[in-house]
Structure 1
Amino acid sequence: MATYLHQSIRSITRNICLAGILLIYTLPLSAQDLDVPYVPTPNEVVEKMLDLAEVQSDDYVIDLGSGDGRIVIAAAKRGASGHGIDLDPKRIAEARKNATMAEVDDKVMFKQQDIFETDFREASVITMYLLPSVNKKLRPRLLDELRPGTRLVSHSFDMGDWEPDQEVTLSSESSNRTHSIFYWVVPAKVDGSWQWSAENTTFNMNIDQKYQEIIVSLKDENGTSYDIQDKKLEGERITFQALNGNERFVYSGRISGDNIEGTMQHHSTNDKTVSDWSATRQ
C-alpha cells in the first residue's frame, strides 16, 4: 500500500511539473520576457552605440527593450528626442524617474508596450539589446516599415544573414568583458529593372538586391554591356561606375520609390562632363 501511494505521488508531481513547462512554452513571447533577468548595457557601450549611429540633435531615437532608460536618456543629453519601449512596468517607472533626475524628461518618454506591436516608423535611430531570435523576428518589420537611411544599432546580437555595415568590439571595465556592437543602415528597395536616356541613348539597368548588397548589370539600346565597379547602396543613396573602353560613367543618385534622381559624370579620353541623371523603375 505504501509503495503504491509513493508511486502515485511521484506520478502526480511529474504531471504537475510537465504541465507547468508546457504552460511556459505556450505563453506569448512577451509574457515570458518578463521572467528574463534584466541586464543593463554598460554606459561606455551605450555611448559607443550612439557614436556609431552619429546621434545628433535632430534625431529621434527609439530604444526597443529600454530597461532603465539609459540609452534614450544618453541620446537626449546629446540633444536628441526619443522614447523607450518596454513591457515591464517596473522598468518603465524606473526609466521615467531616471529621466527626471537627468533633467531630460522634456525630450523623452517611456511606453509600456510589446515591441512586436509598437509603431517605430518615426525613428531615425533604433537601438536594441535583444536576443538573436527576437532580432530575426523583428527584421522584416525593420526593413519594410522604417525609412531608408534609418540607422540601427544592436548590442551583442546580430540580425542573422543581414550583415552589418559595421561591427565593433569594446572592452568594458564595468562589466569586465568585451562587447560586440552591430550597426546597419536600412537600405532602400532598389531591385528590379531601371531605364533612362542620356546623350541620345537609352540605358537599361538590372539590380538584384539582398539587403544592402547589390548586383548591377547595365546595357545600352545597342546591346553594349558595361563593366560595373564601385557599386554601393547606403540608405536611399546609390553609387556605381560603368566602364566601356576609354569611357567611364560615374553615377550617384537618391532613390525615391520607383525613381532615382542624381548626377552622371562622363569621363572620356578628351573630355569630362556632368549632367543630371533620372532613372525610372520599369
Structure 2
Amino acid sequence: MRSLCLAVFCLTALAQDKPTDKLAPYYPTPETIVEKMLQLGGLKAGEKMFDLGSGDGRIVIMAARKYKADATGVEFDDALFKQSMDKIKTLGLSATARIIHGDLLKQDYASADLLTVYLLPMSNDKLSPILEKQLKKGARVVAHDFEFSAWTPVKVQDIDDDGEGRSHRLYLYRR
C-alpha cells in the first residue's frame, strides 16, 4: 500500500497541467503523521522549527499550538499561503506561528532546531546542499516518505497505518 501511495504522489507531481516551480504537489500530511514527525524530531517548547512546503499550515500550527515552538512555514502557492495565514490568525497563534510566502530554496534556516519536509526526492536533493551550509550543529531534519539521498538517517520510523489505511516512512537526520 505504501508503494501505491508513493506512486500516486509522484505521478501527481509529474502530471501537473502547466509548468511549475513547485518542488512537490500539494498532498497534505495526515494529522497523525504530523504528530509523529514532531515527536520523532524531538521538538521542544521554544525551539525554532521550519516546515518546508507548508501547504495549509497544519505542521506549523501543531508545532506552535501543542509543542509551544516558534514555528515557521515556507509556502510558494498563493492560495495555500493565504489559507494557512488566515487559520493562524483565527487560532490566535500569530505570535508563535507564521508562514513565509516564497521559495523554500531561497530562505535562511541557520536558526532552525528542527525542519520538516514532505517533498519529492529530486527536491530533497536540491535542498540538501543548502541545508548542509546553513544548519547549525545539532539541528534535526524529519523527512516524510522521501529520504535525502546524500544523507544517512539516524533513525527511520515506519508507520503501518495513519488511521486512513496508508503506511508512511519517516527519516530523522541530525547535523
Scaled by the length of structure 2, the TM-score of the pair is: 0.84
1-side partners of 2:174 and 2:22: how far apart?
A: 27
Structure 1 equivalent of residue 29 of structure 2: 41
Residue 157 of structure 1: SS of its match in structure 2? coil
- Which aligned pairs between 1:140-219 and structure 2 lie closer than 5 A? 140-170=129-159, 171-174=161-164, 176-186=165-175
Q: Which has the higher strand share?
A: 1
Structure 1 equivalent of residue 115 of structure 2: 126
RMSD, aligned CA: 1.6
Structure 2 equivalent of residue 66 of structure 1: 54
Pick from 81, 86, 90 the counterpart of residue 79 of structure 2. Answer: 90
Q: CA deviation at 1:145?
A: 1.1
Structure 2 equivalent of residue 254 of structure 1: none
Aligned residue type for 1:117: K
Label 1:151 to 1:90 Cα distance change in 2 as closer, same or farther (>3 A): same
Residue 144 of structure 1: SS of its match in structure 2? helix
1-side partners of 2:69 and 2:80: how far apart?
A: 21
Scaled by the length of structure 1, the TM-score of the pair is: 0.53
Q: CA deviation at 1:94?
A: 0.7
Pick from 36, 54, 73 the counterpart of residue 42 of structure 2. Answer: 54
Q: Which has the larger radius of gyration?
A: 1
2-side partners of 1:111 and 1:68: how far apart?
A: 12
Aligned residue type for 1:115: L
Q: Which has the higher helix share?
A: 2
1-side partners of 2:54 and 2:172: how far apart?
A: 18
1:130-164, Cα deviation, whole Å (9 max, x unpaired) = 00001011111111211010010011110114121
Q: CA deviation at 1:45?
A: 0.3
- The runs of at least 4 aligned residues of structure 1 exceeding 6 Å deviation read none
The structure with higher relative contact order (CA 8 Å, sep 6+) is 2
In the comparison of the two structures, how many residue pairs are matched? 156
1:203-245, Cα deviation, whole Å (9 max, x unpaired) = xxxxxxxxxxxxxxxxxxxxxxxxxxxxxxxxxxxxxxxxxxx
Aligned residue type for 1:41: T
Identity %: 33
Q: Which runs of 5+ in 1 are unaligned?
A: 1-23, 187-282
Residue 111 of structure 1: SS of its match in structure 2? strand
Structure 2 equivalent of residue 79 of structure 1: 68
